[in-house]
Structure 1
Amino acid sequence: MTMVLGLKKIYHCFMDIQALENAFATYLRNNIHSDDGSHDLGHFRRVWHTCQRIDASEGSRGDLYVLLAASYFHDIVSVPKNHPDRSRASVLSGERTASLLASSFPMFPLDKIPFVRHAIEAHSFSAGITPETYEARVLQDADRMEALGAIGIARTFYTAGFMRSGMFHEEDPLGLSRPLDDARFALDHFALKLLRLPETMQTEAGREMARRKAELLAGFREQLVKEVLGED
């Protein structure tokens, strides 16, 4: 009997999560319009899926309600990368998400909203807020994972185009005899930030996943430099 009740509880939780995900996606699709393709609905879905993968590898101990809401709304307030308030984007997103969950999603448990807010506030690199909960650490890892692997490569050069910066320095793409400057060259961002991300991951599962994705980044950079220098 206890096993049956446990299975029913898991089933109802799964159905609630599915319903909430559909509701969140519908809300974002109808109410949030952004021209930033690196922070679109696809990004939110991928972060949610990565959160689930990390949590499963870590023993499935996370609160899926918190991880789901934080994944879908962590970038609900978008601040351009070169804006002076960029570092406050996660705090503003946390505030707005807390208000939104309470007012527009009556099926979402009110007691979980503070945990969602903290996870969102702490996910950003530029905010400098230490993640205090397991869910906040998982979200931070999942969001940073988007900067690695094939998606990370695509996002890096997409953002460079968006910011009207160059792809790479023609004569010295690796910056061997010049200062690295990722505001001018997208490829410089690999060395300055992206290839350092695995060591910043908060969970062991996140670190392992990030290492694999960073290897792809490093391989891409090596091949790109060969082609740029005519050595391929």
Structure 2
Amino acid sequence: MNTKLAARINDQQQSVIVAVQSYVAQKLAHDFSGHDIAHIERVVSLAQTILINESNADAFIVILSAYLHDVIDEKVVADVNQAVSELRDYLFSLNLTQTQINQIFDIIENMSYRKNLSSVKKLSLEGQIVQDADRLDAIGAIGIGRTFYYGGNRHNIMHNPAISPRTQLNEDNYKQPNTVINHFYEKLFLLKDMLNTSTAKQLAKQRHEFMLQFVNQFEKEWRGEA
């Protein structure tokens, strides 16, 4: 952790972060959808990078939310309500205040792409940072790998030129199966212009260009072009 950033986290908070890190690693130990602890650690790292330039943000809330953002996600857990209840109890056991717990849940329950399709949720600065970090890990080389990994996990086909990308998405039809390549057009290519912080916008540029080049090359090779 950056020295200036570490100064914004006291010893008690650091102990809580270590405990939460272990909790999340256990909860996601058997994930094979691209939402495993490796993804979480990357999101935490990206959130810390953004935090350096966001001095008004509560670093403790950002880091905890970055660690916890997938442990109640329906893509990951079988029973969302149970996962929410377990997480609330766990955070209370760590002596977090009700305000802190509410801040965390406001972030992790409202930051996802799907939750913002019908109407954009108003996130706190801390929520915007975590959302940006999560979206950065959805694009670039890692984003490409995760997209195909998740598509295979859900038994989605890679590509079918006869199936056009959807232009009108909502919370319900977003969950319906589609091709892996269409996911780039329906979501990943759009993320660069949906980021909140200047740091994330800068980091997204190269990742976005890399995805464009990849999909262009993929489609050429799919058509059998040299």
What band does the TM-score fall into relative to the shorter chain? 0.7 to 0.9
Partner of 1:26: 22
Task: Confirm or deny: 8 A CA contact 2:158 2:180 kept in the other structure.
Answer: yes
State how far apart, in whole Å, the 2-side matches of 1:208 and 1:94 are: 34
User: How far off its partner does 1:198 sit?
Assistant: 1.0
Shift of the 142–11 alpha-carbon distance from structure 1 to 2, 3 Å rule, reads closer
Among candidates 43, 65, 72, match of residue 67 of structure 2: 72
Letter in 1 for 2:47: C
Letter in 2 for 1:114: N
| Secondary structure of the structure 2 residue equivalent to 1:124 | coil
CA offsets 1:180-210 (integer angstroms, 9 cap, x no match) = 2683320111112110111111222222222
Instruction: Name structure 2 gaps, 5 residues minimum.
Output: 167-175
Letter in 2 for 1:44: I
Letter in 1 for 2:55: S
Shift of the 183–52 alpha-carbon distance from structure 1 to 2, 3 Å rule, reads same
CA offsets 1:114-147 (integer angstroms, 9 cap, x no match) = 2112111221122236133100111111111121
Partner of 1:123: 111
Letter in 1 for 2:23: Y
Shift of the 109–49 alpha-carbon distance from structure 1 to 2, 3 Å rule, reads farther
| Secondary structure of the structure 1 residue equivalent to 2:109 | helix
State how far apart, in whole Å, the 2-side matches of 1:132 and 1:148 are: 21
Task: Confirm or deny: 8 A CA contact 2:189 2:208 kept in the other structure.
Answer: yes
State how far apart, in whole Å, the 1-side matches of 2:58 and 2:37 are: 22
| Secondary structure of the structure 1 residue equivalent to 2:106 | helix
Deviates more, 1:186-195 or 1:197-206: 197-206
Instruction: Name structure 1 gaps, 5 residues minimum.
Output: 1-6
Shift of the 78–116 alpha-carbon distance from structure 1 to 2, 3 Å rule, reads closer
User: How far off its partner does 1:111 sit?
Assistant: 3.9
Letter in 2 for 1:27: Y
CA RMSD of aligned residues (A): 2.9
State how far apart, in whole Å, the 2-side matches of 1:219 and 1:199 are: 18
Task: Confirm or deny: 8 A CA contact 2:27 2:71 kept in the other structure.
Answer: no
Structure 1 residues 37-76: aligned runs within 5 Å: 37-56=33-52, 58-76=53-71
| Secondary structure of the structure 1 residue equivalent to 2:38 | helix
Partner of 1:102: 92
Name the structure, 1 or 2, with higher relative contact order (CA <8 Å, separation 6+): 2
Letter in 2 for 1:225: E
Partner of 2:173: none
Size of the aligned set, in residue pairs, is 209
Partner of 1:4: none
Shift of the 216–31 alpha-carbon distance from structure 1 to 2, 3 Å rule, reads closer
Partner of 2:169: none
CA offsets 1:16-45 (integer angstroms, 9 cap, x no match) = 454333211222334554333411111111
User: How far off its partner does 1:92 sit?
Assistant: 7.8
Q: TM-score scaled to structure 2, two decimals?
A: 0.79
Partner of 2:144: 153
Q: TM-score scaled to structure 1, two decimals?
A: 0.77
Partner of 1:3: none
Letter in 2 for 1:120: I
